[in-house]
Amino acid sequence: MTRAQTRLMPGGQVKLSMYYEYGAIETCKNVVAGTVKNAIAVIQPPGHHAKSDEAMGFCFLNNIAIAARGLTEGWKTSVLARELAQGIGDSEYVATF
């Protein structure tokens, strides 16, 4: 997490966001490993506007991109975004894969 993101996040939000990220990564890993058939990680804010070096659109961390990045360590990974307007940060993160 960058200084800019930490500076913008209120008090316990940094720690809380780290729990969200861990949950998103573990959810994805369990689906890919076949431990569960399917799953959903309900996380707010969704993070799709957050860029790698700055928070945007009320999003501090890009949950989907970070979880996908966690999966690249050991599994072949594809990202399918199902939303009408692609988030600013999603394009930036996915381009780095």
Task: Give the distance from CA 97 to its chain's centroid.
Answer: 14
**Top-confidence residue, 67 or 83:** 67
Max distance between CA atoms of the chain, in angstroms, equals: 38
| Per-residue pLDDT tens digits for 26-80 | 888 898 889 999 888 777 766 777 777 777 777 778 887 788 777 877 777 776 6
pLDDT at 63: 80
> Is the distance from CB of 71 to CB of 29 less than 8 angstroms?
yes
Q: Which residues belong to the active site?
A: 49
pLDDT at 82: 59
